[in-house]
Amino acid sequence: MAAEVKKKISARSHTRKSNSDSSSTFPSGIFTKFLLVFFTGFLTWAYQAACPPAPKKVGPPDGLPVTTPRIKLRDERYLSYKEFGVPKESAKYKIIYVHGFDSFKHYAVIATSASPTLIEDLGIYIVSFDRPGYGESDPDPKRTLKSLALDTEELADQLELGSKFYVVGFSLGGQVIWSYLKYIPHRLAGAALIAPVVNYWWPNLPSNLSQQAFSKQFLQDQWSLRVAHYLPSLTYWWNTQKWFPILTWMDNSPDILSRQDRELVPIFTVGRAAEGQVRQQGEYESIHRDLNIGFSTWEFDPTEIENLFPENEGSVHIWMGDEDMYVPVTLQRYIAQQLPWINYHELTDAGHLFPYADGKSDAILKTLLLGQS
């Protein structure tokens, strides 16, 4: 009898324990649904964070105001430009200027820093334009290295600059000039690349040299450029998130300025009341797309470009400061060594902003147009 009672008590105890266990366990079906909802929500958030907003429209009827002339390109986009110097009808030299990263047509250093007397005496006409997505030029979602060269050629044709013209680019605009040398060499009378940005992933750069130069960049810049090169679809997210520091170029960090750059900042910033117009259409179609193209896998290597002027009927020049903290001078020297037909000018104790120093823009123009050293 006692054994039977003990057996019943044991059975009840086991039953209570089973019931207790089953009631404390989260139902597997609900838990799976919770994970699915959470994962879906996370993916939705990640997708929205990575997708840039649509660019703002420029022009009538309801877009941003148009303040300078624009031409209509072959694909219905508009390209905005600004003219400097003497009238093009009477000009002896016609130059197309290409602005750099986070800049636009008004900041044409060779036009604003050069001596007005020099420009007048030599008969220099300069036209600067907003690259796609900057200022008042429509964005180009299909922009490539070649498409920008063709945009520039079309600008020259619509402005009737003639069969040949000069091109000058500064910083990332200097990098753009490589695409002109590649895709429209027959239209060039000469070219000047001022502190042109170097793509660390150009295939002909020695890996040890490019890696050494890359490792000397700020850590936040290394990560920003890696994202632009390997994961361009995340460039917008990376440069708008708040967890990690972004590219120093975008952050206007003084840490990337050389001694000379710091001295030139007051000159560099003069007349920049229109700064807000640079990114007015949105950051993605301007500065972010610049990074994606400038540091992408290029379809050509600059060191393979052949001599444009075998009969010395024109010239190409690279200007570089030996203390430039934006662009590694070691890589610039290597590129110049591989292209002996290009005239390389390295300035001692000069930083990235050296063309704003007194007399430097004059020297660049005289060397390009007159062949003076």
Tens digit of each residue's pLDDT, the chain (373 residues):
444 434 443 444 444 444 444 444 545 666 565 455 444 443 444 444 557 788 899 999 889 999 999 999 999 999 999 999 999 999 999 999 999 999 999 999 999 999 999 999 999 999 999 999 999 999 999 999 999 999 999 999 999 999 999 999 999 999 999 999 999 999 999 999 999 999 999 999 999 999 999 999 999 999 999 999 999 999 999 988 888 888 888 877 888 999 999 999 989 887 666 678 999 999 999 999 999 999 999 999 999 999 999 999 999 999 999 999 999 999 999 999 999 999 999 999 999 999 999 999 999 999 999 987 6
**How many structural domains compose the chain?**
1
Cβ atoms 309, 316 nearer than 8 A: yes
Residue 353 lies in a domain: yes
pLDDT in the model for residue 14: 44
Residue 136 lies in a domain: yes
Residue 301 lies in a domain: yes
Residues sharing a CB contact under 8 Å with residue 72, sequence separation 6 or more, in sequence order: 78
Q: pLDDT per residue over 215-265, tens digit each?
A: 999 999 999 999 999 999 999 999 888 888 888 888 778 889 999 999 999
Residue 340 lies in a domain: yes
pLDDT in the model for residue 28: 62
Residue 162 lies in a domain: yes
As a whole number, the mean pLDDT across the chain is 88
How far is Cα 159 from Cα 125, in angstroms, rounded to an integer?
Answer: 12
Residue 56 lies in a domain: no
CATH number at residue 110: 3.40.50.1820
Domain holding 331, by residue range, is 70-370
Residue 40 lies in a domain: no
Q: pLDDT per residue over 2-30, tens digit each?
A: 444 344 434 444 444 444 444 445 456 66
Residue 35 lies in a domain: no
